Structure 1
Amino acid sequence: MGSLVMDDAVRWVKRQVEEGPLPSAVFGVATSAGPQHVEAFTGRDARIAEVDDHYALFSVTKPLSGIALARSVERGDLSLRASLGSAFPDAPGSTAAQPWRAGVRLEHLLSHTGGLSEPPLDSPLDLDEQLDLARPDFLPGSMVRYSNIAFHGAARILTAATGRDLHDEIEALSPVGGGSALTFDSASDPHEVYGQREGGLDYAAMARHRHPAAGVNGTAAGLLELGSSLLRAHGGARGEVLHPETLRGMLVPRTIGVPEPIPGDPRRDFGLVWNIRQSSTALLHRNAFGHEGWSGTQWWIYPELDLCFVLMTNLLDVRLYGVDPDELNNAVVAGR
């Protein structure tokens, strides 16, 4: 483990767990040289937190899906212009019955501009049924609205084009612990998700879907090692999880200035999958990309600072309990 220690950031996490609402947490920091500091904290969680524990990542799954899909794009196996219609080649009359699917491209699905109607994460229908029932709410590319079902559409497009399964591609990403560090397998025993009743989620029902938008269970080490590889790629290194030009292309903003259909919905800007923080006024340093999850998980990468951090935790809608992860972002960058 390296020598980089984030005293203020560690104190922030410790306070949120021991005095605040977070049931438990694992906090870790990495540079392009690898992980520098990882520490676990236990509060009201019935289970003692360890640094190598799995946590439900929820939407931190999305950039993992994005990386896996981008690897197929950079190999020339998959086109960003591939249509959702290609995911339904065997459905009787599907192209004629749902001609709009031809206009929904992979690039739309990965930038939250696809316009598909959104089912709940814990829907009793399987993902194929959910996608089959999805209908357009707006013209693809004309608006931006956060979407989960879009990622199952992307997974179906990948399989149609390459024969490969997105779940397998994601689990193969982790450079530590094989596929076990980033996995859809419930046997990984992630920490209990708190706040399900208040948040209106049946986590067990969601987990059964192995959702490519929200279903990965991950360890801090798995995300930190991946973050280190992305930092090296951003710096121009070849042979990393993504080619430097692939990562650069994913970070081109695609939704800045694009209207939202829901007035007052929290504004988030995206490239291809990555949440881009350029317009986040609460941050001291805005040149960051990454993602957060409904369970409070955070994975952010600051290329100019050669810095990546993760927060693994397990409480739905942490902001409703007074936890502002942007405070942690600021403590991390100022501690660098």
Structure 2
Amino acid sequence: MESVALDDAVRWVRRQVEQGPLPSAVLGVATSGGIQFLEAFSGSDERPARVDDHYALYSVTKPLTGIAMARAIERGDLSLRRDLSTVLPDAPGGPAHPWRSAVRLEHLLSHTAGLVEPALDDPRPLDEQLATAGQAFVAGTRISYSNIAFHGAAKLFTAATGRAVHDDIEALAGLTGAADGSLTFDAASDPHRVYGQERAGVSPDRIAAARHPAAGVNGTAEGLLSLGASLLRALGGARGEVLHPETARGMTISRTAGLPEAVPNDDRRDFGLTWHLRDESSGLLHRDAIGHEGWTTTQWWIYPELDLCFTLLTNVLDARGLGVDPDELNNAVVAGS
């Protein structure tokens, strides 16, 4: 049911959809008590939007991968200090990569691994992309946003647990009471078409086919909000949630404080274990936020102090470049909480 306090947030989304550039959208809000609000918005997309539709999450996949990793870490199955050389040993007679032993899981999950980054829609298998990635800088000395690092993390996860991280990610929704398949790598979930590929010069179909642990999940608002509600309860001290309270808090501790960006004059970003931390985001009125944005402009943000989680699912690449500023929506949701 719609809350009067969310009128401004609803108005913002409706304007972006009806006047462009968002083709469609679903807006959802949750607290630790569960989902409080869901509404779908149809625009230029060829199919009407429904609140239970799947959307391609792109980089919102990253914290989902992080949660699956953290569950293995808190069980003692996986260590943040496990290094990349354990799954990418040098082949006899091949080039030596001694620097890989210094690239640990903690670096791979915090954008500090220092790997040379291939294109997200690189047609080569992910194993080949990772094996041929060179060193851009010494791990732990800079921040450089990375997708291929998450495939390295996924290989460490499988080596330690015997499972594919994809399976653990897809199981997250069921752990929080959401419908099975709410978070999935399965293209049969029929996500909304991703627009803007010609402008961006990428192939969404190729990205989807790779089942990339940094960008491959298709999700519903229910899946993200139910997970967000569980995390809010954990961050509030409740046990028996998707993560132990100390695990949830530990993921939000900055791993990049004081480190320079590898790209000069890049916007300052701060990361915990896969979470984007917003404490240095000048566009937000309330900066106690963790979450992530996807290339499709999809948003998933959690405000622990406010007992608030919201998601915006949408489907056009880099709407920021088309004049959309999602921080405006963040502020409107917070003001309505």
Give the TM bin, normalised by the shorter chain. Answer: over 0.9
Name the residue aligned to 1:237. Answer: 238
Looking at structure 2, the residues matched to 2 and 229 of structure 1 have their Cα atoms a distance apart, in angstroms, of: 22
- Distance change in 2, residues 1:173/1:133 (3 Å): same
1:174, distance to aligned residue in structure 2 (A)? 0.5
Note if contact 1:171-1:178 (Cα within 8 Å) is conserved in structure 2: no
SS at match of 1:215: coil
Looking at structure 2, the residues matched to 5 and 180 of structure 1 have their Cα atoms a distance apart, in angstroms, of: 31
Name the residue aligned to 2:82. Answer: 82
Looking at structure 2, the residues matched to 147 and 87 of structure 1 have their Cα atoms a distance apart, in angstroms, of: 18
Length-normalised TM-score, structure 2: 0.96
1:256, distance to aligned residue in structure 2 (A)? 2.1
1:77, distance to aligned residue in structure 2 (A)? 0.4
Looking at structure 2, the residues matched to 177 and 187 of structure 1 have their Cα atoms a distance apart, in angstroms, of: 18
- Per-residue deviation, residues 186-223 of structure 1 (Å, max 9, x unmatched): 00000000000101110111111000000000000000
After superposition, residues 1-336 of structure 1 pair within 5 angstroms as 6-88=6-88, 92-93=91-92, 97-175=96-174, 176-336=177-337
1:70, distance to aligned residue in structure 2 (A)? 0.4
Length-normalised TM-score, structure 1: 0.97
Moved more, 171-180 or 322-331: 171-180
Moved more, 241-250 or 255-264: 255-264
- Distance change in 2, residues 1:220/1:254 (3 Å): same
Corresponding letter in the other structure for 1:32: S
- Per-residue deviation, residues 286-336 of structure 1 (Å, max 9, x unmatched): 000000000010000001110000000001111111100000000000011
Corresponding letter in the other structure for 2:267: P
- Distance change in 2, residues 1:179/1:148 (3 Å): farther
Note if contact 1:85-1:95 (Cα within 8 Å) is conserved in structure 2: no
Looking at structure 2, the residues matched to 282 and 329 of structure 1 have their Cα atoms a distance apart, in angstroms, of: 9
- Distance change in 2, residues 1:30/1:5 (3 Å): farther
SS at match of 2:116: coil
SS at match of 1:36: strand
Looking at structure 2, the residues matched to 280 and 203 of structure 1 have their Cα atoms a distance apart, in angstroms, of: 29
1:94, distance to aligned residue in structure 2 (A)? 9.0
Looking at structure 2, the residues matched to 137 and 70 of structure 1 have their Cα atoms a distance apart, in angstroms, of: 27
1:101, distance to aligned residue in structure 2 (A)? 1.0
Note if contact 2:178-2:226 (Cα within 8 Å) is conserved in structure 1: no
Identity %: 67
Looking at structure 2, the residues matched to 36 and 187 of structure 1 have their Cα atoms a distance apart, in angstroms, of: 28
Note if contact 2:268-2:280 (Cα within 8 Å) is conserved in structure 1: no
Note if contact 2:115-2:135 (Cα within 8 Å) is conserved in structure 1: yes
- Distance change in 2, residues 1:14/1:238 (3 Å): same
- Distance change in 2, residues 1:13/1:110 (3 Å): same
- Distance change in 2, residues 1:192/1:94 (3 Å): farther
Moved more, 178-187 or 208-217: 178-187
Note if contact 2:256-2:271 (Cα within 8 Å) is conserved in structure 1: yes
Note if contact 1:111-1:271 (Cα within 8 Å) is conserved in structure 2: yes
- Distance change in 2, residues 1:94/1:119 (3 Å): farther
Task: Flag structure 1 segments of 5+ consecutive residues without an equivalent.
Answer: none
Note if contact 1:29-1:37 (Cα within 8 Å) is conserved in structure 2: yes
SS at match of 2:173: coil
Corresponding letter in the other structure for 1:28: G
1:178, distance to aligned residue in structure 2 (A)? 4.9
Structure 1 residue runs of 4 or more that deviate by more than 4 Å after TM superposition: 1-5, 176-179
Looking at structure 1, the residues matched to 10 and 264 of structure 2 have their Cα atoms a distance apart, in angstroms, of: 36
